[in-house]
């Protein structure tokens, strides 16, 4: 039987470049590419073997699942050392003036 070898969530964002740079600078992802227009309306960022797609939101549409349901999750990540990952995120955050939570990236 064929195996599913990965899945990539697609997050709707207000600014594709700004969101991709946030994932790179704050969360340790690499920008795998910008696509379709200039300025881009779609990007892919990745870390290890995982990919997140970032797509430009149209006014009045999309956003976080919490827009539609109070207790919702947009994506769930499994990691092998959550404490080390948290420490990395805290270190990256201290190098930047950005203090917004991930969910408000846009």
- Domains, the chain, with CATH or none: 10-59+74-104 (3.10.180.10)
pLDDT of 28: 94
Give percent above pLDDT 90 in the chain.
Answer: 35
pTM of the predicted model, to two decimals? 0.74
Give percent above pLDDT 70 in the chain.
Answer: 82
Report residue 101's pLDDT band, with 50, 70 and 90 as the boundaries. Answer: very low
pLDDT of 106: 42
Report residue 60's pLDDT band, with 50, 70 and 90 as the boundaries. Answer: low
- Going by C-alpha positions, the residue among 50, 48, 40 that lies closest to residue 18 is 40
Strands (E), the chain: 10-13, 30-35, 42-47, 50-56
């Amino acid at each position: 039987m064929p195996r599913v070898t990965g899945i990539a969530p697609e997050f709707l964002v207000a600014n594709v470049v700004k969101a991709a740079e946030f994932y790179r600078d704050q969360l340790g992802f690499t920008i795998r590419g910008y696509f379709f227009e200039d300025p881009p309306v779609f990007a892919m960022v990745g870390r290890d073997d995982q990919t997140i797609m970032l797509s430009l939101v149209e006014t009045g549409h999309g956003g976080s699942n919490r827009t539609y349901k109070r207790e919702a999750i947009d994506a769930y990540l499994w990691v092998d050392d959550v404490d080390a990952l948290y420490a990395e995120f805290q270190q990256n955050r201290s190098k930047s003036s950005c203090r917004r939570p991930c969910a408000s990236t846009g």
